[in-house]
Every structure is written in structure tokens, then in C-alpha cells.
């Protein structure tokens, strides 16, 4: 087990009615909020009005910035930065899922610099010296960005999708009411479940030995298998929604990384290429890539895959049983498990390979080169 530092400054309120705390806590944070949302679902389902009512009742000023898409682009974040500067916002409130929150994190850092936020993501080592406080009202169980320091944006024109992390990007406060996820459509609920499992796998398959973190991860997967179908089949099952929401937070808030340098995240890097090329929802792309990755690297991850199988399926299970069970699970929650399920044919393989090469896709522990890309594409065709 490696040395580690545990640090997470985000205050997280979880459960029914927690949004009541927003107005008073925002009033202690600042006076002028830029509220960032997606395409408008939080308007139609009433969540945005609850946010603004809470701000109004505490005599706070606010303005709305909307239009964040499911694979968020840096240009929109730059536009939000300009809106925040012109308005004189002293805090950002993100109301939505991971894409909205990731964009909001970029804005929080971007208001203090004169360059595009993409410079933070471009791998040049540029880091912020300050950031606005971020308050998060989460509406989708998926990414864990509500309690971590990471954000992902893409440069669609140049076919790059990249993550970036910094301690200044931790949300100050996050509000997680499971009832706010009731209106999420079944398909996006399923993509969120797939994303949660992928984060858990990425950390579990790190080669750094950390037995407690690994045991924790296998239990997250086991509970994900239990509650995932329930949230698909009964979207207003509070206990199922609450458990999936908390599992998604735990999967990437640092709890599964203690004693490890990092997760592998090669599957995420591979999926980012699918997202930037085909605008596929991130979780849907992950459910396509992960079975292929497990099959391709099975000889190298065999023991850990066996342990995962035995935890989730029973003491006699082996790794190959888990891969079959995972694909069956994806069928059950109706996420794609092959590129053809998303209408991406073999005629696109050359483009995918070219983009994988251009982005130098690989994992932290499991390297991938051209032959690996091709073998995995054949498995996910």
C-alpha cells in the first residue's frame, strides 16, 4: 500500500429537501451568482425555480447561462467566462449533471485569467492561481464531479477530449437530493450507472496494492448491479435512486484511490475518442469499451477479475463469468455493448484508429498501442 494524502474539502448535503440550505449558504458565499444549466430540463421539471426561489428569498442576485451539451465544449465555457466577468459574478452555481458541473469548474478558474479555459486542458501545465466558489445542485447520478477536483471538456474541431484536475476545482458545497433524479430518462439514467461502474473499474484495476480500497470497489460494483436495474425499471424508487446517487459520488471522490497513485483510465481515454467523433453519451461509450478492454487484457488482470467475479457473483465464479455478467447487465439496463449497437460500423474503424493514435490513448498501468486499438475495436465491433 502506497503513501497517500486524504483530502476532500467539499461539503455535501444528501437527501430529501437539502436544497433548503442553498439560499442561506449561498448568502454566506457571495451576492451575485451565475447559474449554469444545460439544455433546459431543469426549467421544465421545476428544479431551477427551486434554486432561484431559494436565492431570491435570501436577497441574492443571479443570472442564467444555459446551453451546455452532454459532451461539453470549451468554447461554451469560454462564453460563460465572459458572461461571469461582465456580470461581476462572485460565485457559480451549477444545476445539472456532470457536463454542466465540468463546464462550471472551468468557468470558476477562467474568470481569473485572460486566456481560453482550454489552455488548462491542453497539457501545457498551465494552472490557475484562484477560482470562484462553486455550488452544485446535482440532477444526475454519474460522474462524481460533484465531490472531486476533475473536469472534462472537448475541442470538437481538433478531435480532442481531455480531463484536467486542480484542488481549486473542488465544489464548495454540493446538494444531492435523490428526488431530483426522478425525471432523468431511463436511457440517461442507464448511462450514468455505466459511468459509475467504469470509474470503479478504473480505480480497481490499478496495479498498486491497496486491499481495503479494492474491497470497497468490489462492493460498489456489487451494489451497482443490485440497484442499477431498479432505477431503470422504477424511476421513482427513492431507495434505489438514493443508492445509485451515492455510489456514483463514492466511485470518484477519492474513496477508492487511497493507497494508489491513480486509476488506469485507459478505457476513459479510449471512450473520449468515441465521444468526440460521434457525440455518443459518455456512459454509453464506456459500456461499449469496457467489456472489450477486459477481454483484451484478461491475462494481465486475471486475478483481480476473479476476485471481482467472486464478490459480485459468488465464490465459484471466475473472471470470464464476470465479463459475461457485465454484458448481460448492460443488456438489462439497455446500454450499448458494441459499436454496431450505436450504428457505428466497421467502415469507421480507420477513423477511430487514426484518432486514437493522434490522441496517444493509453492507460496509466496498461499501455495501448496500434495493435491493442485494433484488437479492441474488433472485440467491440
pLDDT in tens, 125-182: 899 999 999 999 999 999 999 999 999 999 999 999 999 999 999 999 999 999 999 9
CB 67 within 8 A of CB 39: yes
**pLDDT score recorded for residue 132:** 98
Considering only CA atoms, which of 275, 55, 236 is closest in space to residue 143? 275
Which residues make beta-bridge pairs with 63? 34
- Cβ neighbours of residue 264 closer than 8 Å, sequence gap 6 or more: 202, 205, 206, 363, 364, 365, 366
| Pairwise CA distance, residues 155 & 318, whole Å | 41
| Pairwise CA distance, residues 209 & 23, whole Å | 44
**pLDDT score recorded for residue 139:** 97
- Cβ neighbours of residue 71 closer than 8 Å, sequence gap 6 or more: 99, 154, 156, 161, 275, 276, 279, 281, 282
Q: What is the pLDDT of residues 209-267, one digit of tens each?
A: 999 999 999 999 999 999 999 999 999 999 999 999 999 999 999 999 999 999 999 99
| Pairwise CA distance, residues 365 & 206, whole Å | 7
pLDDT band at 123 (very low <50, low <70, confident <90, very high): confident
| Pairwise CA distance, residues 53 & 76, whole Å | 26
Considering only CA atoms, which of 171, 194, 207, 218 is closest in space to residue 333? 194
Can you give the pTM of this predicted structure?
0.95
- Mean pLDDT over 15-26 rounds to 97
45 pLDDT higher than 90 = yes
* 3-class state of residue 206 by DSSP: coil
**pLDDT score recorded for residue 125:** 86
**pLDDT score recorded for residue 116:** 97
Q: Retrieve residue 321's grid coordinates.
A: 463469468
The residue to which cell 445539472 is assigned: 96
**pLDDT score recorded for residue 63:** 98
- Mean pLDDT over 179-208 rounds to 97
- Cβ neighbours of residue 125 closer than 8 Å, sequence gap 6 or more: none
CB 31 within 8 A of CB 51: no
| Residues of the chain above pLDDT 90, percent | 98
**pLDDT score recorded for residue 371:** 97
Q: What is the pLDDT of residues 63-80, one digit of tens each?
A: 999 999 999 999 999 999
Beta strands in the chain (DSSP E): 11-14, 32-36, 61-65, 91-96, 134-138, 150-155, 160-165, 173-176
Q: Retrieve residue 225's grid coordinates.
A: 448491479
**pLDDT score recorded for residue 124:** 86
Amino acid at each position: 500500500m502506497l503513501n497517500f494524502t486524504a483530502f476532500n474539502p467539499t461539503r455535501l448535503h444528501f437527501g430529501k429537501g437539502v436544497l433548503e440550505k442553498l439560499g442561506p449558504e449561498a448568502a454566506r458565499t457571495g451576492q451575485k451568482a451565475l447559474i449554469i444549466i444545460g439544455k433546459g430540463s431543469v426549467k421544465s421539471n421545476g428544479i431551477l425555480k427551486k434554486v432561484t426561489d431559494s436565492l431570491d428569498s435570501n436577497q441574492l442576485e443571479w443570472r442564467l447561462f444555459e446551453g451546455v451539451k452532454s459532451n461539453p465544449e470549451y468554447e461554451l465555457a469560454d462564453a460563460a467566462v465572459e458572461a461571469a466577468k461582465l456580470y461581476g459574478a462572485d460565485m457559480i452555481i451549477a444545476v445539472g449533471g456532470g457536463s454542466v458541473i465540468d463546464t462550471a469548474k472551468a468557468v470558476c478558474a477562467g474568470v481569473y485569467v485572460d486566456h481560453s479555459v482550454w489552455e488548462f486542458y491542453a497539457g501545457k501545465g498551465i494552472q490557475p492561481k484562484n477560482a470562484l466558489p462553486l455550488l452544485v445542485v446535482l440532477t444526475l447520478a454519474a460522474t462524481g464531479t460533484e465531490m472531486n477536483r476533475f473536469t472534462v471538456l472537448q475541442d470538437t474541431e481538433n478531435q480532442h477530449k481531455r480531463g484536467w484536475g486542480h484542488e481549486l476545482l473542488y465544489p464548495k458545497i454540493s446538494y444531492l437530493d435523490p428526488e431530483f433524479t426522478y425525471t432523468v430518462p431511463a436511457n440517461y439514467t442507464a448511462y450514468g450507472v455505466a459511468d459509475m461502474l467504469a470509474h470503479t473499474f478504473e480505480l480497481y484495476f490499478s496495479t498498486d496494492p491497496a486491499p481495503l480500497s479494492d474491497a470497497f470497489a468490489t462492493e460498489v460494483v456489487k451494489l451497482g448491479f443490485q440497484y442499477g436495474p431498479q432505477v431503470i425499471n422504477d424511476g421513482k424508487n427513492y431507495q434505489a435512486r438514493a443508492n445509485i446517487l451515492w455510489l456514483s459520488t463514492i466511485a470518484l471522490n477519492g474513496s477508492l484511490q487511497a493507497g494508489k497513485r491513480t486509476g488506469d483510465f485507459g478505457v476513459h481515454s479510449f471512450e473520449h475518442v468515441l465521444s468526440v467523433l460521434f457525440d455518443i453519451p459518455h456512459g454509453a461509450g464506456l459500456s461499449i469499451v469496457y467489456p472489450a478492454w477486459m477481454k483484451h487484457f484478461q491475462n494481465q488482470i486475471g486475478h483481480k477479475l476473479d476476485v471481482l467475479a467472486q464478490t459480485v457473483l459468488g465464490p465459484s465464479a471466475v473472471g470470464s463469468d464476470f465479463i459475461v455478467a457485465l454484458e448481460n447487465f448492460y443488456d438489462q439496463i439497455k446500454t450499448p455493448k458494441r459499436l454496431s449497437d450505436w450504428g457505428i460500423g466497421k467502415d469507421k474503424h480507420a477513423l477511430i484508429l487514426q484518432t486514437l493514435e493522434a490522441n496517444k490513448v493509453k492507460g496509466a498501468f496498461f499501455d495501448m498501442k496500434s495493435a491493442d486499438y485494433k484488437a479492441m475495436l474488433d472485440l467491440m465491433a
